[in-house]
């Protein structure tokens, strides 16, 4: 068994069946990041998306991936070559697999199928030899535990003896259809029928046969002449049975090897995605850092020069960066001007958190955060899909789903939740829900217009929360910087009104 590059056996990672993946992808604009990782490779796209959305919850495992990723970035050519060898092999093997199924096209004889099957094995063995060669030449560059162990396993399994043995069988079975006779042994089973049929050998030489004939010379009844079609068919059935057995063995192993190569492609694929993203960011001058991971029981969130990577990729330039130190606080309330960068800010944290928990680097100069057991987003939907329930109903239904899937030490990114009702009612609901969440050790980062809510929390629960506000300059222009500040009443809607309506009125 070759150890995985994404997981470690000794670390028992919890696996969650995440139903909210699509929401998370949309809300955090993950699509753009995954596309940068995939570089038009559909397989990489699927792989990276899946790995990122299945967040890790164990610190050791995140560090395990971080160190592999560092090795990969530093030795990107080796990794890209491995990925390409595996991809090519899988392309070739796919063509062969159908031909080797025992029930595939009756017109192809079983012996031909065996020959095809061994051809498939040949492709695999060939590919293993290439992988082994690449790794032999490059293993000295790796320092991460993951890649070192991987190399060790490869060395242990893909030995010279293994390759020799494989080649022996490739030889033995490559032209079975031309061999002279087959020797089979069996025992008597139920109802006197033969059972435990075993293939002794498929042989070219008849010398053995001559020898045993001497012993049985006078025993005529021991020879069955295949003079009738029935008898000949029966005999063929035994031969085909033996070939079927060989094919099953080949297919069993081939299936496993295929799966192994597929999973290797998947695992290396994730790191190839990491390399791609890293290269793209580097070329555009976007800074990155390996995040500092803290255990989930510690409440930590601290960063410098964090930016929204999706926005950066989209606009091809570095957007506004923000700093924060909100450790020991389970609640962050973000209020302030419309269009002031609140959603972008929320997204930048969510994105960094999810990238960190997949083992990737994050778009910041510095990022330190605790692991969240589950990551949820609750963003107001532009429109309510289900017209049967009111919009508030729909919101609460989603919250309810989140809570059903929640674990302690989860994090919820909320964007304008409970804005679908009056401020009074929204405040009551928000307070009930959010207080219950943070008291039970769920981190909540909440962008809201509910001033009444923010003010109440500020007055009553100040110690448990950090309050941030989207700023503006003295002349009313938005800075898109989010700074620590108490909530204040005006939401600067008038600014927008001024810009879009009043100024237009003036012009006309």
Partner 1 sequence: MEFQSILFNKRNQYCLNESVYEPEFFCDLNLDQLVNDIVENKEEYNLKPFFYLKLKNVEDINYRLDIMKEFDNNNLYSIMYDFSANMKRFKEYKEYSETLYFDYQLNKWFLDSADLYCRIVLELNEKISILKFDSLGFRLFQGWIESYINSDEFKIFSQLTFEMEELFSNIKYNLKIFKNKVLVTFEKSEGNYCDTLSKCFDKINDKKFDFKLGIFKDVKINPIEDLIIKAIKEEKTELFERLSKYRNDFSNFENEKIMNFIREIQFYISYIDFMNKLRKKGYVFSYPKFSDTKIVEFKNMYDLALANKNSKETIIRNDLFLEREENVLILSGPNQGGKTTYARAFGQASYLAFIGCPIACDESKIYLFDNVYTHFSNDENINIDTGKLKEELVRLEKIIKRITPNSLLILNELFATTTTYDGYNMGKDLIEYLIELECVCLYVTHIFELSKLSRKIVNLVACVDSSKNRTYKILRKDSDGKVYANTIAEKYDLSYKSLKKRLSNIN
Separation of alpha carbons 454 and 447, rounded Å: 10
Least distance CB 70 / partner 1 (angstroms): 28
Rounded to an integer, what distance in angstroms lies between the CA atom of residue 304 and that of residue 265?
Answer: 35
Q: With binding defined as CB under 8 A, does residue 187 bind partner 1?
A: yes
396 interacts with partner 1 by CB under 8 A: yes
How far apart, in Å, are the Cα atoms of 13 and each of 117, 348, 496? 37, 26, 47
From residue 459, how far is each of 44, 144, 191, 383, 500 by CA, in Å? 49, 50, 89, 34, 35
Residue 134 vs 199, nearer CB to partner 1: 199
Distance CA(198)–CA(200), nearest Å, equals: 6
Per CB under 8 A, does 429 bind partner 1? yes
**Any idea which residue has 């969130």 for tokens?**
301
Binding segment (CB under 8 A) for partner 1, from list 44-52, 139-147, 426-434, 451-459: 426-434
Tokens 């994404």, residue located: 6
Rounded to a whole number of angstroms, the minimum distance from the CB of residue 377 to partner 1 is: 18
Q: Does 85 bind partner 1 (CB under 8 A)?
A: no
Confirm if 290 and 70 have CB atoms less than 8 A apart: yes
Q: Least CB distance from residue 432 to partner 1, whole Å?
A: 4
Q: How far apart are CA 451 and CA 467, in angstroms?
A: 12
- Residue 157 sits in the site that holds partner 1 (CB under 8 A): yes
Q: CA 391, 393, 398, 399 torsion: positive or negative?
A: positive
Does 230 bind partner 1 (CB under 8 A)? Our answer is yes
Measured from the CB of residue 394, what is the shortest distance to partner 1 in angstroms? 11
Q: Name which of 2 and 318 has its Cβ closer to partner 1.
A: 2
| 269 CB neighbour count, 10 Å cutoff | 26
Q: Is 246 in the site for partner 1 (CB under 8 A)?
A: yes
Q: How far is residue 133's CA from residue 501's CA, in Å, rounded to a whole number?
A: 68
Size of site (CB under 8 A) for partner 1: 81
To partner 1, the closest distance from the beta carbon of 297 in angstroms equals 13
Binding to partner 1 by CB under 8 A, coded x per residue (else -) over 24-43, reads: --------------------
Kindly tell me which residue out of 42, 192, 210, 387 binds partner 1, with binding defined by CB under 8 A.
192
Max CA separation in the chain (angstroms): 121
Quote the least distance from Cβ 356 to partner 1, whole Å. 22
Query: For partner 1, which residue of 35, 70, 169, 391 counts as binding (CB under 8 A)?
Result: 169
DSSP 95-140: HHHHHT-TTS-TTS-HHHHHHHHHHHHHHHHHHHHHHHHHHHHHGG
Q: Restricting to residues 375-394, which ones interact with partner 1 according to CB under 8 A?
A: 392-393
CA-to-CA dists, residue 372 to 21, 341, 344, 368, 467, angstroms = 16, 24, 20, 12, 21
110 binds partner 1 (CB under 8 A): no
Point out which span in 165-173, 290-298, 336-344, 489-497 binds partner 1 (CB under 8 A): 165-173
**Window of 48-56, 267-275, 279-287, 397-405 that interacts with partner 1 by CB under 8 A:** 397-405
Q: By CB under 8 A, tell whether 188 contacts partner 1.
A: yes
Cβ closer to partner 1: 129 or 485?
Answer: 129
| CB of residue 114 to partner 1, shortest distance in Å | 11
Q: Which of 51, 56, 85, 257 binds partner 1 (CB under 8 A)?
A: 257
Say whether residue 456 binds partner 1 (CB under 8 A): no
- Binding of partner 1 at residue 292 (CB under 8 A)? no
Among 75, 87, 244, 479, binds partner 1 (CB under 8 A): 244
Which one of 190, 217, 506, 507 is in contact with partner 1 (CB under 8 A)? 190
Per rule CB under 8 A, is residue 218 in the interface with partner 1? no
Question: Vertex 376, ends 52 and 383: CA angle to 5°?
Answer: 110
Upper half-sphere CA count for residue 144 (Cβ side, 13 Å):
22
Query: Which residue has tokens 């033996």?
Result: 242
Q: Is 209 in the site for partner 1 (CB under 8 A)?
A: yes
Using alpha carbons only, give the angle 244, 245, 249 rounded to the nearest 5 degrees: 115
Q: Is 109 in the site for partner 1 (CB under 8 A)?
A: no
Alpha carbon separation from 29 to 34, 303, 312, 313 (Å, rounded): 9, 20, 11, 11
């Amino acid at each position: 068994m070759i150890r995985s590059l994404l997981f470690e056996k000794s670390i028992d990672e919890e696996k969650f069946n995440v139903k909210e993946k699509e929401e998370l992808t949309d809300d955090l604009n993950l699509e753009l990041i995954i596309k940068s990782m995939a570089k038009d490779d559909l397989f990489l796209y699927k792989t990276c998306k899946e790995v990122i959305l299945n967040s890790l919850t164990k610190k050791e495992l995140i560090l395990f991936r971080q160190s592999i990723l560092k090795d990969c970035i530093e030795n990107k050519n080796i990794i890209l070559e491995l990925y390409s060898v595996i991809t090519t092999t899988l392309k070739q093997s796919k063509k062969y697999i159908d031909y080797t199924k025992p029930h595939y096209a009756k017109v192809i004889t079983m012996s031909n199928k065996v020959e095809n099957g061994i051809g498939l094995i040949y492709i695999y063995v060939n590919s293993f030899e290439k992988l082994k060669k690449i790794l032999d030449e490059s293993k000295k560059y790796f320092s991460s535990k993951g890649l070192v162990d991987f190399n060790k396993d490869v060395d242990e399994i893909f030995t010279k003896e293994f390759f020799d043995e494989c080649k022996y069988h490739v030889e033995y079975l490559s032209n079975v259809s031309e061999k002279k006779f087959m020797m089979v042994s069996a025992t008597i089973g139920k109802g006197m029928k033969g059972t435990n049929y075993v293939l002794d050998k498929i042989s070219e030489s008849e010398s053995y046969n001559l020898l045993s004939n001497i012993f049985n010379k006078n025993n005529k009844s021991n020879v069955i002449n295949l003079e009738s079609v029935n008898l000949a068919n029966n005999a063929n059935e035994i031969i085909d049975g033996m070939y079927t057995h060989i094919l099953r063995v080949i297919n069993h192993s081939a299936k496993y090897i295929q799966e192994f190569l597929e999973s290797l492609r998947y695992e290396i694929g994730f790191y190839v995605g990491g390399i791609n993203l890293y290269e793209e960011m580097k070329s555009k001058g976007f800074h990155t850092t390996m995040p500092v991971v803290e255990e989930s029981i510690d409440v930590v969130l601290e960063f410098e020069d964090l930016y929204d990577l999706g926005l950066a990729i989209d606009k091809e330039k570095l957007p506004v960066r923000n700093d924060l130190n909100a450790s020991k606080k389970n609640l962050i309330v973000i209020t302030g001007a419309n269009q002031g960068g609140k959603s972008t800010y929320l997204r930048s944290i969510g994105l960094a958190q999810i990238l960190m928990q997949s083992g990737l680097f994050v778009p910041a100069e510095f990022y330190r955060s605790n692991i969240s057991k589950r990551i949820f987003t609750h963003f107001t939907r532009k429109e309510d899909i289900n017209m049967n329930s009111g919009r508030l109903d729909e919101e609460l239904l989603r919250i309810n789903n989140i809570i059903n899937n929640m674990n302690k030490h989860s994090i919820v990114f909320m964007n304008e939740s409970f804005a679908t009702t009056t401020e009074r009612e929204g405040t009551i609901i928000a307070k009930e829900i959010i207080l219950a969440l943070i008291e039970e050790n769920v981190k909540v980062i909440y962008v809201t217009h509910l001033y009444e809510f923010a003010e109440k929390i500020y007055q009553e629960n100040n110690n448990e929360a950090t309050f941030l506000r989207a700023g503006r300059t003295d002349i009313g222009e938005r800075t898109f910087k989010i700074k620590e500040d108490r909530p204040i009443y005006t939401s600067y809607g008038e600014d927008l009104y001024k810009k879009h309506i009043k100024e237009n009125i003036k012009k006309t």
